[in-house]
Each structure stands twice: as C-alpha cells, then as structure tokens.
C-alpha cells in the first residue's frame, strides 16, 4: 500500500506524472469475460493522503487509474483530472473511495460494486447506460457531492 504520506491530501503531490500511483489489470494477454486482463485478483492495495495534479504547461498527469477489487481502499486523495476505476473494461469487483475530491470524470467501468463516502465529484460519472464501460452491478454513495451518482438512481 501507499499510505501515511501526509496528514492532508495536498501534503504530497504526484505532479505531471504519466502514471503516478496506479493499479492496472493483470494478465493483459488473456481474454477474460470478453476483455483483455483481469482486476479480480488485485486485492490488498491501498492508497491515501496524496494529490495527483498536472501543471498548465504539461501534457501528462492529473489522471489516475485504480483498477482494483476488494480490500483496496483509496482514501483522502485529490485527483485533479479523471479517476478510472477499471482498466479498459477488465473485470473488477468492488472497492472504496472515501474522503476524496475528483476534479475530472469518474469512470466506474466494470466494477461490480463500489462504495463512495464523502467524495466531492466535480466532473461527471461514467455510469450512464449507453456508455461502453457501464458499472456492472451497483454503487453506493454516502455523503457525496456533485454529479457522480446522478446516473445510478
């Protein structure tokens, strides 16, 4: 895990990083459930207390990939750009996003279940039925602000 970096999310910043802190799907050469890769065995990862940003003069950074399954919380983070909770539709099975701020879009993708608590969603979610990477089963939103859960009601 990547934990305890600071007392606030802005104390440690991953700036202009092409990848920054991330978890991607594994077995990307295998087709599982019609997609390359699998995120069902990315357990026991955690990250907290950092920001992912991009400066105005940079072409990279600010976005984050967190394609995990159970026991993998993402807490007290500030993502300036987009937060992608799946890796190109590779099967994933749940996670926790808490006490966070996401400036861009959140793409739940192939997640089977997800709980978001005290999250400020500044962009739009990607749970609409017409989207290629629609959330597979369900998501729970507790004390969240912004538009992220509008498509799930």
Tens digits of residue pLDDT in 3-20:
767 788 888 889 998 877
Which residues lie below 8 Å from residue 92, measured CB to CB, with a gap of 6+? 25, 39, 40, 42, 67, 68, 69, 85, 86, 109, 110, 111, 112
pLDDT of 142 higher than 60? yes
pLDDT digits (tens, 9 = 90+) for 27-60: 777 887 777 778 887 777 888 999 999 988 988 8
- Mean pLDDT over residues 117-141, rounded? 69
**What is the 3-state composition of the chain as percent helix, strand, coil, each rounded to the nearest 5?**
0, 40, 55
pTM here is: 0.85
Q: Tell me, what's the pLDDT at 126?
A: 55
């Amino acid at each position: 895990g990547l934990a305890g970096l600071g007392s606030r999310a802005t104390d440690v910043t991953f700036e202009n990083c092409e990848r920054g802190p991330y978890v991607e799907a594994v077995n990307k050469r295998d087709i599982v459930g019609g997609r390359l890769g699998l995120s069902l065995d990315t357990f026991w990862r955690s990250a907290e207390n950092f920001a992912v940003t991009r400066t105005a003069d940079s072409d990279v950074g600010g976005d984050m990939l967190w394609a995990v399954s159970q026991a993998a919380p993402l807490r007290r983070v500030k993502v300036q750009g987009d937060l992608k909770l799946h890796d190109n539709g590779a099967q994933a099975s749940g996670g926790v996003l808490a006490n966070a701020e996401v400036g861009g879009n959140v793409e739940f993708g192939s997640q089977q279940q997800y709980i978001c608590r005290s999250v400020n969603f500044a962009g739009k979610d990607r749970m609409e039925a017409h989207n290629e990477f629609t959330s597979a089963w369900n998501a729970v939103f507790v004390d969240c602000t912004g538009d992220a859960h509008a498509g799930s009601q």
